[in-house]
Amino acid sequence: MKDTVIQVCDLSKIYKLYEKPADRLKESLSISKKEYHKKHYALKHVDFQVERGECVGIIGTNGSGKSTILKIITGVLTPTEGSVGINGRISALLELGAGFNMEYTGIENVYLNGTMIGFTKEEIDQKLEGILEFADIGDFVYQPVKTYSSGMLIRLAFAVAINIEPEILIVDEALSVGDVFFQAKCYRKFEEFKKMGKTILLVSHDLGSVAKYCDRVILLNKGEKLAEGKPKEIVDLYKKLLVNALDDPEKAKELVTGAAEEATGGESAPQEATDHTDVWKNHLPRNPKVVEYGQKEAEIIDYAILDEDGNFSNNLEKWKKFTVKIKVKFHQVLPEPIMAFTIKDLRGTEIAGTNTMLEEAFFEVKEPEEVHEASFTQVMSLQGGEYLLSLGVTGYAGNDFRVYHRLYDVCDLHVFSEKNTVGLCDLNSRAKVK
């Protein structure tokens, strides 16, 4: 028999939005009870439950209601409608530094947090050594928390949360600031928790971690629950949602319905980049402040990123094939032009890329206003994380290198991975020990 530890029933959170501060006063003084606000649903009639021993992930874009629902579950926020039932002691990491007094030392904050959860000083004394060992921040535990780096702060916060023996652990993106080794240690602790029959509720943008560690995943969009199910299926659905229906809740529901029909054998139209009358880049979250330059003898008029199934997506899985497509209009006849793409990290360092010359995919422009398309297909070997895509079309006039058109940071790439190694790329090593 299942043992439900979190029961969310018809949960809604509504915020009143006023165009100007005076409207709030007008509404409070209105004899006719006239409303001067608009209702914003941070959550809208959400239902789900979590069983004891499960690791459940909640995913969705910014503004989908993920953090709101965790704050309601932990009692930080009060719901407008609906109810939440909890069966067990909760420990939560909702945001960096939450529950810490920045003027207190690390040690003092350990006792403060433990007391708030309900432990006596003697009980915290017994757990202190384990907490400090897990946090591993040295003598900084005797310094005020306001002097900590974000990494040290999250180490201490997670060490407290994980070592007070909670029955339910709730984590909201807190691990994203830790280094890869600290994250690995935390996830090992997750596995220990699961084996002990404890429950984890995890919000994360790291789709690789969600797919690997969660037993079940819930997908939120614009405050509504769109779907829940096995991690791989929901992550794939989320990737489609990102490039199809972020701003249209009804379209999002249609997408979910179509995916469900497809999974059960029904017909569903594939969303592939085969219609050349379509504008590819409209399917991607583009950078509104893209940097471009060049004389535009040739002009990049369209581009696309496709996953291994041929779907438009800037969310790519490590070790799976993906394709970058570039469409260029050549306003002049140009000798041996070169089309290229580059992937950079968030600091702007070029870490991967290629072009038609290096790949020996030579072509000619015979008439003005010709349009040519280049496709680059490869396996993604970068570590899980965020990257930026840049595009270019260049060439040579005699011995002089010419830039016809370049677009810097046209959109972001999110790579998700079930295992990251050290550095920017994965050598795909196979280790043996005798």
What are the structural domain ranges in the chain?
1-88+167-172+193-269, 280-416
Do residues 336 and 353 lie in contact, with contact meaning Cβ atoms separated by under 8 Å? Answer: no
- The answer to whether residues 320 and 380 touch, using CB atoms and an 8 Å cutoff, is yes
pLDDT, position 259: 56
Helix (H, G, I), strand (E, B) or coil at 351: strand
Judge contact between 73 and 5, C-beta under 8 A.
no
Return the CATH superfamily for domain 1-88+167-172+193-269: P-loop containing nucleotide triphosphate hydrolases (3.40.50.300)
Is 65 exposed, middle or buried (CB count within 10 Å of its CB: 0-12, 13-18, 19+)? buried
CATH of domain 280-416: 2.70.50.60
Residue numbers of the chain with a pLDDT score lower than 70: 1-2, 95-98, 174-181, 183-184, 243-277
Strand residue runs (E) in 52-93: 55-59, 81-86, 90-93
Measure the CA–CA gap between 299 and 127, rounded to whole angstroms.
64
In terms of Cβ atoms closer than 10 Å to its own Cβ (0-12, 13-18, 19+), residue 386 is exposed
Between CA 92 and CA 98 the distance in angstroms is 9
